[in-house]
Amino acid sequence: MTSRAAFWRRILVYALYIAVCSLLQVTLPDSVAVLGATPDLTLILAVLCGYMFGSGDGFVIGLAAGFMRDLLAGQTLGLGMLLLMYAGIASSVLLHRFFRRNILFGLVLVAFFSAAYAAALLILTYLVPPLTDIVYPFGELLERLRLALPGQVLANLAAALPLIFLLVFLGPYRRSGRGDDPDDTIMGDSLWRVA
Amino acid sequence: MRGIARNRIFLLVFTTLLLVTVILLSSLPGSPLHFLTSPVSAVLEPVQKTLLGVTDQVTGFFESLREGMRIRKENLALREENAALRSQIDQLAEAGRQYEALKEAFALKDQYAGYTIVGARVLTREIGQWFDVFRIDVGTADGFSVTETRSYAVVDAQSRLIGRVLSTDLVSGKVLPLIHEGFSVSAKVDTPDGPLMRLRGTLELKDQGLCLADQIPSAASLMPGDVLVTSGAGGLFPAGIPIGTVVSVRTADTSSERQAVIQPFAGFDQLTTVFVMKGAQP
């Protein structure tokens, strides 16, 4: 595959994944909820792209998925972009640097970032209350987080597993086509271990 | 290598600052930044409607299987009821004609006579904290433009309050539901000279589909079962839109002020169509 064809493959596949994930996320009925939570597909996509394909991809996919998130359900523009951009970059830096990329650590990252994302929103709600004259006690926010997090993590893990396989086998890169990624020079590993 | 790292850090810092600016600017009511989303919204709208249609059909298929037996029994009962209602229709038609005549005679106005009601389809559902508004398929192209001083009440098919329009782009708008912690409206008990109070959403009650009334006058009588409607104070919402019923009255944790837990009339789970109330331009 020529580099030009590979480039367009990346663009088209990523565009498709972002559109499908974001639209599904805001359309999924409550009947597919796990412990009251539906999967946060845009967050999972940003985290997995960062982890599997490096910080550049994590950065761009985080921004694009965040834009769709803001567009479809955000109170403001930019918040989703900011959060998912950092999720994409951070996921490329964490386990990626210390472990060979594999499914197990991909799932660990999804669980970790589900919790980190919820914690970030909790802090944001505490620092920037929606109504200026209303104070939200930190304990109350923490209790909400404690109740909602298990379901959210489970729902995200359930959705992450098929998404990992999709990104590996029907992803933006051919399975052996990641040798040119600067991130990979750190690890000397351009292949994804599926098993 | 060090140069690449420096560039990456610069890009990250620059993007972060840019996004923080975008967040601050877009949080201003009526911000023109919301129009940036118009091209994407225009492209996504037909896709979303198709997806919604497919989802509705799939969900509807399974629901119809589940509900089939129940509906058959209900149908029998309804047939009998239908026969009785047919005779009532004739009587009511005559009553309606009399009402129109009386209304004209007394120059009685419709409750929301100054408002245009526009139907809208719900395109998306909420997806968690800070991303918990839903989108509808009306926007500035339909004449709805949100500014710092102008928004629009959103009601359901029975004219019960759902929320208000938060922002609009060319073809879509975002609705802040009344159980959202950022929502507040002036309400009153639905009685002549009913006491005024503030109704708002809270994090604590949102998950239960409830909201809170506070700033209740100390001398006001408020009992479980009382009905709250919009007061019309502030001019954003017309007076008299049904909001919900008082479930319980309690004392606030941090002060001696009374608060009431409100069960909204409108259901938010299966919301597919809403109506936006557009008042006369100021």
Domain boundaries, chain A: 3-184
Which residues of A are less than 8 Å from B123 in CB distance?
26
Which residues of B are less than 8 Å from A77 in CB distance?
22-23, 26, 33-34, 36-37
Query: Any idea which of A105-109, B172-176, B205-209, B277-281 has the lowest mean pLDDT?
Result: B277-281
What is the C-alpha separation between B64 and B72, in angstroms, rounded? 11
Range of the domain at B86: 1-111
Exposure of B244 in the CB half-sphere (CA atoms within 13 A)? 27
pLDDT in tens, B251-260: 876 667 888 9
Q: Which residue of B has its CA nearest to A90?
A: B12
B133 and B100 in a common domain: no
pLDDT above 70 coverage of chain B, percent: 90
pLDDT above 90 coverage of chain B, percent: 20
**B178-205: average pLDDT:** 88
Single out the residue in B111, B126, B160 at which a domain terminates: B111
Please answer yes or no on whether A73 and B19 come within 8 Å at the CB atom.
no
Looking at the DSSP bridge assignments, the partners of residue B264 are B244
B224 and B105 in a common domain: no
- Which carries the bigger pLDDT value, residue A67 or residue B271? A67
Q: B129 in helix, strand or coil?
A: coil
Q: Which residue of A has its CA nearest to B137?
A: A72
Distance from the A150 Cα atom to the nearest Cα atom in chain B, whole angstroms: 14
Who among B11, B133, B200 is closest to A75 (CB)?
B133
Instruction: State the pLDDT at residue A94.
Output: 77
Interface of B with A in 48-87 (CB under 8 A): 48, 51-52, 55, 59
B107 and B128 in a common domain: no
B222 and B194 in a common domain: yes
B100 and B154 in a common domain: no
Distance from the B20 Cα atom to the nearest Cα atom in chain A, whole angstroms: 7
Question: How would CATH label the architecture of A3-184?
Answer: Orthogonal Bundle (1.10)
- Which carries the bigger pLDDT value, residue B59 or residue A109? A109
Would the pLDDT of B93 be above 50? yes
pLDDT in tens, B100-151: 766 655 544 456 667 888 888 888 877 777 788 888 988 888 888 888 788 8
Q: What is the mean pLDDT of chain B?
A: 83
Q: How many domains does chain B have?
A: 2
Which residues of B are less than 8 Å from A136 in CB distance?
181, 203
B127 and B97 in a common domain: no
B196 and B100 in a common domain: no
Answer yes or no: pTM beyond 0.90: no
Please answer yes or no on whether B125 and A141 come within 8 Å at the CB atom.
no
Who among A29, A38, A124 is closest to B130 (CB)?
A124
Measure the CA angle with vertex A158, ends A152 and A160; round to 5°: 95
Instruction: State the pLDDT at residue B281.
Output: 54
B68 and B194 in a common domain: no
B44 and B156 in a common domain: no
Q: Which of B13, B21, B23 is the best residue to mutate to test the A interface, defined by the most A CB atoms within 10 Å of its own CB?
A: B23
Q: A179 in helix, strand or coil?
A: coil
Single out the residue in B111, B133, B159 at which a domain terminates: B111
Split at pLDDT 50, 70, 90, the class of B220 is confident
Please answer yes or no on whether B16 and A78 come within 8 Å at the CB atom.
no
Mind giving me the DSSP string for B207-223?
TTT-EEEE---TT----
B238 and B154 in a common domain: yes
What phi-psi label fits residue B49: left (phi over 0), alpha (psi between -120 and 50 degrees) or beta?
A: alpha
Single out the residue in B111, B138, B168 at which a domain terminates: B111
Who among B55, B124, B182 is closest to A131 (CB)?
B182
Within an 8 Å CB–CB cutoff, is residue B204 touching chain A? yes
Who among A25, A59, A131 is closest to B200 (CB)?
A131
Q: Which residue of B has its CA nearest to A81?
A: B19
Instruction: State the pLDDT at residue B193.
Output: 82
Split at pLDDT 50, 70, 90, the class of A190 is very low
pLDDT above 90 coverage of chain A, percent: 38
What is the C-alpha separation between A113 and A98, in angstroms, rounded? 17
Instruction: State the pLDDT at residue B1.
Output: 57
- Which carries the bigger pLDDT value, residue B192 or residue A156? A156
Instruction: State the pLDDT at residue B111.
Output: 60
B174 and B100 in a common domain: no
Please answer yes or no on whether B27 and A74 come within 8 Å at the CB atom.
no
B242 and B104 in a common domain: no
**A124-151: average pLDDT:** 81
pLDDT in tens, B192-203: 888 899 999 988
Q: Which of B16, B18, B19, B34 is the best residue to mutate to test the A interface, defined by the most A CB atoms within 10 Å of its own CB?
A: B19
Which residues of A are less than 8 Å from B16 in CB distance?
82
Annotate A3-20 with b (16+ C-beta within 10 A) or e (fewer).
eeeeeebbeebbeebbbe
